């Protein structure tokens, strides 16, 4: 078992390295480097370029060095918690980002929990009552959840809240907590404000989850052990709880690998519309102004979040499923 955990964690390392190489490639993609265009822009505006600052930045990123060295410098810095320097804001990325990454984690976590809480009972109901009116109705709702783009749902909810309740639903905490250190009250305030983004982000994922859970459970319900148990006279409720549901639970945990990227994608765009203080709006702003180091850090952070999420789900799966625990296989 310990061997499996170690193996699984070690497997993460090449993935993370590959991810960081891709992110670094994207950072390098725009023609020329940001520094040059930055200087050109300043000169075009007739401002003097602070040679000292330019030298500092060039040194900081090793821009005069070959690419592999630049990469090593960048990746090594990230390991030490140094995410680079934002040209746009003129300060280290870590300072620019502030709470945003933490808030993104909170929102994503709450959304995963929300998705599970909604999808689990509905999926079970749909599977056990296949082709009933309830099943059809819920399926249709699920399809709508998939079809309505996140950002539209966010806009519509803002519109509804504005027209009918006269309130603005942007923001993620009471004003008095903005820029303050984290306290219990602040966390509670964030949680209280997070329900709208969570609902908006969660719908798409929940709908997909319900459909997958339903299909999975239906497959289980057709298996022979269910028939056997039924033939033995086990009451339906107990039968469901005892066998197929546990199999479905397995899938629930392992499915986080596809759920998490979806939620994080949704969270980014929803945050832009609702102007939440998470990574979304800033990622967009950074991309638009081609502040690539800032954007790259966000991208890297989100990817790491997903890789860790999958790791956690694999470990949880190991705890849940003796087959994995005993053979040491890898679930995904």
Partner 1 sequence: MSADVLEPQVREPALAHYVSTEPFDPASAVTLTPEQERLYLASQWTLMWWKFKQHRVALVSGIILLLMYGSTLVSEILVPYNLQTRNTDFIYAPPQRVHVIRDGRLVAPFVYGLDKTLDLQNLRRVYSENLNEVRPLRFFCSGDPYRFWNLFDASFHLVCPDPRGTLFLLGTDRLGRDVLSRIVYGARISLTIGLIGIALSFTLALVFGGLAGYFGGWIDVVVQRMIEIIRSFPELPLWMALSAVLPVTWSPILVYFGITGILALLDWTGLARAVRSKLLALREEDYCTAARLMGARPRRIIARHLLPGFLSHLIASATLSIPGMILGETALSFLGIGLRPPITSWGVLLNEAQNMNVVALYPWLMLPVVPVIVVILAFNFFGDGLRDAADPYR
At closest approach, how far in Å is the CB of 132 from partner 1? 17
Q: Determine which residue in the list 13, 29, 79, 231 makes contact with partner 1, applying CB under 8 A.
A: 29
* Closer residue to partner 1 (CB): 52 or 167: 167
Q: Determine which residue in the list 7, 36, 40, 159 makes contact with partner 1, applying CB under 8 A.
A: 159
* Closer residue to partner 1 (CB): 29 or 79: 29
Q: Determine which residue in the list 2, 10, 13, 14 makes contact with partner 1, applying CB under 8 A.
A: 14
Collapsing DSSP to helix, strand or coil, 140 comes out as helix
* Closer residue to partner 1 (CB): 115 or 243: 115
- From the CA atom positions of the chain, what is the Rg in Å? 24
Place of tokens 């749902």: 153
Q: Of the listed pieces 17-25, 71-79, 89-97, 118-126, which binds partner 1 according to CB under 8 A?
A: 17-25
Give Cβ neighbours of residue 261 (< 8 Å, ≥ 6 apart): 306
When asked if residue 284 is in the footprint of partner 1 (CB under 8 A), the reply is: yes
At closest approach, how far in Å is the CB of 179 from partner 1? 23
Instruction: Compute the Cα dihedral for 322, 119, 154, 102 and give only its sign.
Output: negative
* Closer residue to partner 1 (CB): 220 or 243: 220
* Closer residue to partner 1 (CB): 173 or 286: 286
Angle 255-258-259 (CA atoms, 0-180°, nearest 5)? 80
Q: Determine which residue in the list 162, 176, 183, 228 makes contact with partner 1, applying CB under 8 A.
A: 162
When asked if residue 132 is in the footprint of partner 1 (CB under 8 A), the reply is: no
Site map for partner 1, 179-218, x if CB under 8 A?
----------------------------------------
- For residue 72 the two structure tokens come to 């090593």
When asked if residue 102 is in the footprint of partner 1 (CB under 8 A), the reply is: no
Give the CB-side neighbour count of residue 64, counting CA atoms within 13 A.
Answer: 7
Q: In 10 A of CB 144, how many CB atoms?
A: 12
Task: Round to the nearest angstrom and report the end-to-end CA distance of the chain.
Answer: 17
Q: Determine which residue in the list 158, 200, 248, 318 makes contact with partner 1, applying CB under 8 A.
A: 158
Closest alpha carbon to 252 in 223, 213, 208, 203:
213
Pairing of β 91-92 and β 85-86 = antiparallel
Q: Which residues, 288 to 327, sit near partner 1 by CB under 8 A?
A: 288, 290, 292, 295-296, 298-299, 302-303, 306-307, 310
With contacts defined by CB under 8 A, how many residues of the chain interact with partner 1? 52
Q: Cα separations (Å) of 74 from 126, 184, 324?
A: 49, 35, 37
Contact 27, 73 (CB under 8 A): no
> Chain-centre distance of CA 241, in angstroms?
31
Long-range contacts of 237-243 (CB under 8 A, 24+ apart): 240/124, 240/128
Site map for partner 1, 252-281, x if CB under 8 A?
-----xx--xx-xxx-xx--xx--------
What CA–CA distance (Å, rounded) separates 150 from 145? 9
At closest approach, how far in Å is the CB of 149 from partner 1? 6
* Closer residue to partner 1 (CB): 90 or 162: 162
* Closer residue to partner 1 (CB): 246 or 288: 288
Kindly provide the b/e burial profile for residues 264-275, where b requires at least 16 CB atoms within 10 angstroms of the residue's own CB: bbbbbbbbbbbe
The residues binding partner 1 (CB under 8 A) are 14-15, 18-19, 22, 26, 29-31, 143-144, 146-152, 155-156, 158-159, 162-163, 168, 257-258, 261-262, 264-266, 268-269, 272-273, 283-284, 287-288, 290, 292, 295-296, 298-299, 302-303, 306-307, 310, 332
């Amino acid at each position: 078992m310990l061997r499996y955990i170690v193996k699984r964690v070690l497997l993460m390392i090449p993935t993370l390295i590959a991810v960081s190489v891709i992110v670094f490639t994207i950072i390098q993609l725009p023609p020329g480097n940001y520094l040059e265009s930055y200087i050109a822009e300043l000169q075009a505006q007739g401002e003097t370029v602070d040679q000292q600052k330019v030298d500092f930045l060039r040194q900081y990123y090793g821009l005069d060095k070959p690419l592999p060295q630049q990469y090593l410098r960048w990746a090594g810095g990230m390991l030490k918690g140094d995410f680079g320097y934002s040209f746009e804001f003129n300060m280290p990325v870590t300072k620019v980002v502030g709470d945003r990454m933490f808030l993104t984690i909170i929102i994503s976590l709450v959304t995963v929990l929300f998705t599970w809480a909604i999808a689990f009972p509905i999926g079970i109901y749909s599977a056990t009552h296949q082709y009933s009116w309830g099943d059809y109705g819920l399926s249709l709702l699920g399809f709508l959840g998939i079809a309505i783009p996140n950002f539209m749902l966010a806009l519509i909810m803002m519109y509804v809240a504005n027209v009918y309740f006269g309130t603005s639903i942007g923001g993620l905490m009471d004003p008095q907590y903005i820029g303050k250190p984290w306290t219990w009250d602040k966390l509670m305030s964030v949680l209280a404000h997070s329900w709208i983004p969570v609902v908006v982000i969660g719908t798409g994922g929940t709908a997909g989850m319900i459909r997958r859970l339903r299909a999975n459970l239906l497959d289980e319900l057709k298996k022979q052990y269910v028939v056997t148990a039924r033939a033995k006279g086990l009451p339906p409720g107990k039968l469901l709880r005892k066998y197929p549901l546990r199999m479905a639970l397995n899938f629930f945990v392992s499915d986080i690998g596809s759920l998490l990227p979806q939620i994080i994608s949704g969270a980014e765009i929803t945050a832009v519309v609702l102007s939440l203080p998470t990574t979304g709006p800033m990622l967009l702003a950074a991309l638009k102004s081609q502040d690539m180091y800032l954007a790259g850090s966000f991208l890297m952070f989100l990817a790491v979040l997903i890789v860790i999420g999958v790791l956690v789900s694999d470990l949880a799966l190991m705890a849940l499923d003796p087959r994995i625990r005993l053979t040491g296989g890898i679930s995904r």
